[in-house]
Amino acid sequence: MEEIIQEECPWAMGYYITDYRLIHPWLLNFRGAEMILNKYKYYRVDEEIKKRYVNAN
């Protein structure tokens, strides 16, 4: 039955993930990829930019 449905189905079964992320300007090396599980070790924080933004607000 499943093979018949797959063969006769008029649609392409698939999905697209829409993901929105807001990041601070002082967060560097940010890549929005779900396949990279250890991504946090690559992030860097620019302390000078962070201080300017925090003190300005």
Q: Is residue 52 within 8 Å of residue 32, measured between CB atoms?
A: no
Q: Confidence class of residue 50 from pLDDT cuts 50, 70 and 90?
A: very high
The ranges assigned to domains in the chain are: 19-57
Residue 2 pLDDT = 83
Specify the pLDDT at position 27.
Answer: 92
d(CA 6, CA 13): 9
Q: Which two tokens stand for residue 25?
A: 């300007």
Residue 53, both tokens: 């933004």
Give residue 39's pLDDT: 78
Taking only the tens place, the pLDDT of each residue in 3-48 is 887 788 777 767 777 778 888 999 998 877 777 777 788 889 999 9
